[in-house]
Chains A and B, each alone.
Chain A
Amino acid sequence: MHEIVLIEQESEPAKRLIEAFENHRFNVSFFQDGLEAYQYCLRTPPRVILTDLDVPKLNGMQLFKRLKENPLLKEIPVIFLAKELEVEERIKSMSPGIDDYIYKPYIPEEVVARVDCIIQEVETIDQAMHDSKHGFAGNLAEMNLVDLIQTLDLGEKSGVIHLLHDDEKGLVYLDKGKVIDAHLDSFDSEGALTTMLTWLDGSFYVTLEELQRARVLNKSNRDILLLGTKLIQEWRQLAGQLPPFDSAVMASNGIDNNSLTPIEKRVLSVFQSPVRIKRGISLCKLDGLTSLKLIQKFLNNGWLVAAPTAGTENADGNEMMDRVKEIRESSHSLHTRIASFFKKRSQTDFESENPSQGDLKEHLADEKKNPSGRNHQSRLAHRIYLSRGDLMLIRQHILAE
C-alpha cells in the first residue's frame, strides 16, 4: 500500500480526493499546512506528495524547495495542485524537478490515475537502476549476443543474459563465462541460442549471479562465437538483398499448396494478411536465418508480394502499441540508445566507419578536396550577437504566449 501526503487548504475537495485514493488502496496523510506536512515527511517519508500551492506556514513552493534540499526527501515525486493561471505564471518558469501539476478543480479519479502513473514510472526507473548496479543493460544494436558472451567469457562471469526482441524474450545462462543453457519459447536450447545469436535489434540486460543450473549445452564458447559471427554475416548479407524490414508483404493468390513443404506452408500462413517482414520473422517461430531465407525464396518466386500500407496498419494495429510497451519496459536500455548519439568521434573515424554513408561522407570529402580557404578541420566559430537581455526577453515572450 502506497503512502501519500496530501496538503490542501480546502477540506471538501480534499475529502473526495482522500476517498478516491483509499478506494484504490493508497494510504493518505492529510495536512492543511505545509510546515506540519514537512515535519511529518521527515519522520515518515511518503511515496508521493500532493500539495496545493497556497497553504499556510510553508506554501507549496517553499515546501518543494525544502524537500529538494533534503537528501532523504529529494527523490520523492511532488505534484502541485494549482489553479491554471498560477501554473502558467509560476510553475512553468520554475527550474526542473516538479513531477506534475494538476489544475483545480480536479477530478479525484484523474488525480489518482496520475499519481499511480508516476509511482509506476519511479518504480521502473528504480528497478532499472538496481539492475544496472547488479549487471548492465543495453541495446542489441550496440552489443549483440556474440559481444555479450565474449565479454562475460573474458571476465569468467556467471549470470543470465535477458534478451528482448520485438515481443520475444530469451535467456542465456552462463557459468564462469561458459554458456550452459539457453531458453526461448518454442525452441530447444540449441535452437534458442542459434536464434538469439541473430538478434541484432532489441534490448538486453545482464544479471550477474551464481547459478545452480545443470549444463545443457555442450558447445564451447569458441564454437558458439564462431557460429554467431557466421550467422550474423549471413543475416546481414540476406537482409541486404531484401526490402526494408518495415515493408509489409503478404502471400499472393494461387499458390499450389501441394508443392510446399510443411515448414514453407507454416511460414506462408503467417503472411495470409499483410505483415511487416520484421514481425513476420518473429511470427514464423523458426530460427531467424531460416525464416529470412524462406522469405527471400518466396519473394523471388512471387509467392510473397508487397502489401498495401493501409491494410498493414489495420492488420498490425497493435504493433505500435506493443512497441510502446516494449520501450516502457526497457527503460534501462534507453540511456544506452541516447548515449550512442554522443560517442566521441573524430572526422577520420566517421569516414572510415561509415563507408556506405554516401551523402555525408561525400560532403565532408568534397570539402577536404576543395577547401574554401577555411580550416575544415576546425569547428565553425559561434558568436551570439544578441545580448543576454535580448535572450531573456525572447524567453519571456515565448513563455507568455
Chain B
Amino acid sequence: MNYLNSTNGTQKIGEIIIVSPSNDDNRKFIQAICRQAVSVDHAVTYGEMEINENLSLYFYGIGYKRSQYNFAWELVAKKVLGYVVLFNWFDDVLFPETKEMIDFLALRVEAPIIIAGDVQDHPFPVGQRIFQPGITFSRQTKFMLCRLSERTSVKKIVISLLDALIDQMP
C-alpha cells in the first residue's frame, strides 16, 4: 500500500483520515462515499475511490483510543490531505472524548479538519441555513452537521475538506 502522496508517474494518491469513537460510524462514512469499506483490522477501516487511472483517493477510518494513535500517526499526518472527526451529535457522554481528539489534532497537525456531527435520522437541530455552508472557526477547522445515512451529506463533508485545501493553494 503506497502511503505517499507522490507523483511518481504511475499513481497519485490522496488520503483522508476519518476519526470517530465508533468503528461502525467510520465504516458508514467510508461506505457512503466509496460504496465499499473494508476493515483492515478491528481498529482500521479502509476505502478507496478511483478518480481516474492515475489518481485515487484513500480513506482510513480509525478510532479515538490511544492504541489506534500508533497507526503510523506522524508519518501519515504529514502527508494526509485532511481529517474528518465524526461524532454522534446526540451523545453527550462521548462529547468530551471528541473534544479531546479535536484538541489533539489542532495542536499537532496543520492539515484541515472537518468536525462532523452526525444527527442520524433526527431533524437537524438548527436550520440547515446555518450549517449548509458549515461554520468555519479557522483556516484549518470547520464544523458541519451531517447524516451518515445520506450519501449527499457525507459528500458535502469531503467536498468541504477539499475546498479548504484548494483555498490554501495559490
Contact = CB atoms under 8 A, between A and B. Distances in A.
Interface of A: 77, 92, 95-100, 118, 121-122, 124-125, 201, 244, 246, 320-321, 323-324, 327-328, 331, 334, 338-342, 345, 347, 350, 354, 357, 359-360, 362-364, 372, 374, 379-386, 388, 390-395, 397-399, 401
Contacts of A362: 66
Interface stretch (B20-28, B38-46, B104-112): B104-112
A350 B128 contact: no
Contacts of A92: 152
A393 to B, nearest CB: 6
B141 to A, nearest CB: 7
B24 to A, nearest CB: 16
A363 B163 CA distance: 32
Nearest to A349: B103
B8 to A, nearest CB: 10
Interface in B39-93: 49, 51-52, 55, 57, 65-66, 69, 74, 77-79, 81, 90, 92-93
Interface of B: 4-7, 12, 14, 33, 49, 51-52, 55, 57, 65-66, 69, 74, 77-79, 81, 90, 92-93, 99-100, 102-104, 106-111, 115, 122-123, 125-130, 132-133, 135, 137-138, 141, 143, 152, 155, 158-159, 162-163, 165-166, 168-170
A121 B129 CA distance: 8
B165 to A, nearest CB: 6
Given A328-B125, A372-B74, A395-B162, 5 more contacts: A321-B122, A323-B90, A334-B125, A341-B143, A382-B78
Contacts of A345: 103, 107
B137 to A, nearest CB: 5
B138 A331 contact: no
For the residues of A in contact with B, the DSSP-based class is helix
A363 B65 CA distance: 10
A380 B74 CA distance: 7
A321 B121 CA distance: 11
A338 B143 contact: yes
A363 B78 CA distance: 19
A-B pairs, top 6 by smallest CB distance, nearest first, are A121-B127, A96-B133, A385-B5, A382-B110, A359-B66, A327-B125
Nearest to B91: A246
Given A96-B132, A385-B7, A379 B110 contact: yes
A71 B79 CA distance: 42
Given A340-B99, A363-B69, A393-B52, A386 B129 contact: no
15 contacts: A92-B152, A95-B133, A99-B132, A125-B127, A324-B122, A328-B125, A334-B125, A359-B66, A360-B66, A384-B165, A386-B55, A390-B55, A394-B57, A395-B166, A401-B155
Contacts, number: 148
A63 B69 CA distance: 50
B110 A360 contact: no
B125 A385 contact: no
A226 B155 CA distance: 51
A386 B103 contact: no
B125 A374 contact: no
Contacts of A338: 135, 143
Contacts of A341: 99, 102, 115, 137, 143
A380 B127 contact: no
Contacts of B168: 384
B159 A395 contact: yes
A342 B138 contact: yes
B90 A381 contact: no
Contacts of B66: 359-360, 362-363
Given A96-B133, A320-B90, A394 B55 contact: yes
Contacts of B155: 398-399, 401
Given A320-B90, A363-B66, A394 B51 contact: yes
